[in-house]
Each structure stands twice: as structure tokens, then as C-alpha cells.
Amino acid sequence: MKLARYWAKESRNSNTGQGQEYELACWRGSNESEADAQARAVEAVERLVARVKQGEPLERYDYSEGYIREELIEEINSAEGELIGVVTRNRYGALVLNCERVLFADIDIEPPGLIDKLKALFGGRVKDRNYHLQQIESYASEQPGIALAVYETLAGLRVVVTNRLYGAKDLGTEQLFDRLECDPLYIKLCRTQESFRARLTPKPWRIDYSRPPNNFPRESSEARQRFNGWLKGYEQQSGSYQVCRFLKRFGDQRPLAEVERVLKIHDRYVLSPKELPLA
């Protein structure tokens, strides 16, 4: 998983030699220490300064090295103490589950448009929820021994493989994503981060709430205070919604211990004892 426990920022002023000035900043992450993150940030910004002086365009460079800059909220460990997943807070304030080997598949279902409605009039197939559920069922029947858990989300479906482990770049993962017609943006993110992701709390705009006032890491006590005020209201507002509803299982194979641990955390966040609006 391309997630870091520690983050540091380093800034420099630079110019192109033709009088054009830039204020440059690089964030770098580390799983060793803040000092290591700082050293990486210094090295990165100095490389960037050198490139700017040579007149190279800024947009060519990935300043984050593929790491997603999110606040670490909770770690999930196996019975043997191995890190198997983490909960982070993303840029718009929602909690996200990240797993290196437990496969989550995200399927977006678009509201039927005019063409879909015309197709339906003439007996054509509309890619609604029932269509995608049938695709999932067909895939399960084509893969002997696979077990799937299916959840309903506001925008579609979430599928979890419960008795096998995958890597984000595995051929089997690619085939499953393709067969289930998963969201292309989600597929790209999984490959980039080398892990699977599942949102655990609502998107703020879906619960009529604002986005966070600033981004992680928050560099001052004032910024942290403003964010904490936002977070208190967001958590209060979120309590009237849920992210998923469990729909059904395909296959009766027992879940792997690693998947059970991950799903226990997942379900604690996303499910509700009483039915609430999805967000």
C-alpha cells in the first residue's frame, strides 16, 4: 500500500534564469520517521529547483511519488500482527478503508438516460442494478469455489471477495474488474496505490455539509482547530446516514481470517442496525 505514517513539507524559491520566479514546495511521506520524511522532502525540492533552473516544465513531475497524502486513523492487523489494512481520512474528509490483499470492487450504476429508456421500450437491456447483480451471479458461477459479498451503495454496488486474496495488479484482479464492469477511475486508483479502497463514511455534499476547511497535514494549531470544528459537525451530520446496505452472498465458502478481520471493521462503519438513507 502506498500510504505513509509521517509527512513533511519543504519549500524553496527558484527562478528559470530568464527572470521567471517560482515558490516551490514538495511533500514527502515515510513509514520510518518524520526526520526521514523531511529528508526526502528536502531532496525532492532540491531536485525540482535544479529542473526549474534548466527550464523544464513543472507539470512533468509527480511530487508525491504515488503516495496518497491522507491522515492515518486506524491500523488493521492480522492475528500474527501483520498490517493488513488501514483506515485513512481522504481529502474531502471521509474515512476510507485501504487493503493490500482484500479485494473490493466498485461498480457505478448510471441513472438511465434517454437512449436506455428507448432500448427498454424495444426490449433492449438496461444496465441497472438487476443487470449488474446478474453479472455478479454469472461471474460467481463461472469461478468455482469463489465467495462474494455484495453491498448496495448510493451510486451502485460494492463487491468483496471473501475467500481469496489478490494484488491490485494481479491478472485475476484485472479479469474480475473487467467482467464486473467496475468503475474505471476506481481501477486506476487501485493500480496507482497498489491496494483496494472502500469509502466508510459519507461524502460531505451528499449529506448537505461543507468540505473540510484545509488539507492534511495541517501545519498550524489554527488549521487543526478549524478542521476539528468541521469534523465535529461532519460526524454529527453523518450519524443520520449509512454508506452501504448488505444485499447478498454468492458462494458458501468460509471467509478467510484476513478478510473477516477487514470486513468486521468495514461493516462497523458502513452498516446501521436501522435502515438509514444512503450517502
Question: Over the stretch 134-164, which tens digit does the pLDDT of each residue have?
Answer: 999 999 999 989 999 999 999 999 999 999 9
What are the E-state strand segments in the chain? Answer: 6-15, 21-30, 71-77, 83-89, 95-99, 104-108, 148-152, 156-161, 196-199, 245-250
For the stretch 23-54, pLDDT in tens is 888 899 999 999 999 999 999 889 888 888 87
Q: Interior CA angle at 60 toward 56 and 64, to 5°? A: 125
Residue 38 class from Cβ within 10 Å (0-12 exposed, 13-18 middle, 19+ buried)? middle
For the stretch 221-266, pLDDT in tens is 999 999 999 999 999 999 999 999 999 999 988 999 999 999 999 9
Residue 168 class from Cβ within 10 Å (0-12 exposed, 13-18 middle, 19+ buried)? buried
Kindly write down the DSSP assignment for every residue of 82-130, as one continuous string: -EEEEEEE-TTS-EEEEESSS-EEEEE-PPP-HHHHHHHHTTPPP-SHH
The pTM of the full predicted model, rounded to 2 decimals, is 0.86
For the stretch 75-94, pLDDT in tens is 999 999 999 999 999 999 99
Nine-digit cell string for 70 = 491522507
User: What is the reported pLDDT for 63?
Assistant: 46
Query: 103-107, 121-125, 181-185, 250-254: which range is least confident on average?
Result: 121-125
Nine-digit cell string for 87 = 483506515
3-state secondary structure of 154: coil
Domain ranges of the chain: 6-60, 71-270
Compute the average pLDDT of residues 95-109. Answer: 97
Return the number of other C-beta atoms located less than 10 Å from residue 153's C-beta. Answer: 20
Query: 9-18, 40-49, 184-193: which range is least confident on average?
Result: 9-18
| pLDDT for residue 15 is more than 80 | no
User: What is the reported pLDDT for 67?
Assistant: 80
Q: CA-to-CA distance for 192 and 185, rounded, in angstroms?
A: 11
User: What is the reported pLDDT for 52?
Assistant: 80
Compute the average pLDDT of residues 203-219. Answer: 96
Indicate the average pLDDT of the chain.
90
> Cell numbers 474488474 correspond to what residue?
177
Compute the average pLDDT of residues 108-115. Answer: 74
Q: CA-to-CA distance for 110 and 255, rounded, in angstroms?
A: 31
Banded pLDDT at 61 (limits 50, 70, 90): very low
Banded pLDDT at 13 (limits 50, 70, 90): confident
User: What is the reported pLDDT for 33?
Assistant: 94
Kindly write down the DSSP assignment for every residue of 188-217, as one continuous string: HHHHHHTSEEEE-S--GGGGT-PPPSS-SS
3-state secondary structure of 147: coil
Compute the average pLDDT of residues 13-26. Answer: 77
Residue 95 class from Cβ within 10 Å (0-12 exposed, 13-18 middle, 19+ buried)? buried
Nine-digit cell string for 249 = 452472498
User: What is the reported pLDDT for 264?
Assistant: 96
The answer to whether 213 touches 222, Cβ cutoff 8 Å, is: no
The answer to whether 232 touches 210, Cβ cutoff 8 Å, is: no
| pLDDT for residue 60 is more than 60 | no
